[in-house]
Amino acid sequence: MHTIQEIIREASELPVEDRANVIDSLLRTLNAPNPDMDRAWSETASRRLRELRSGRVQPVPGDRVFAKIKARFAR
């Protein structure tokens, strides 16, 4: 029987795509897939992409978003 540390070490040595598959598989054991939720997220992502591509909305740089979050929670 492998220890958790051995499993993590072995998994860390896998190619990046295999590590991603391991992570995805483990996460699915914690959060079972929900087709309705997946569909809703897909629709939201598609709508947001259309809004960006059309110029209807302007992207906000990540560093600005995180700065606002940090400032909000620093109070």
Residue-wise pLDDT tens digits, 7-34? 999 999 999 999 999 999 999 899 888 9
**% of the chain surpassing 90 pLDDT:** 91
Q: How far is CA 61 from the centre of its chain?
A: 17
Q: How much is the pTM? A: 0.52
Asked whether 19 and 12 are in contact (CB, 8 A), the reply is yes
User: What's the pLDDT at 55?
Assistant: 96
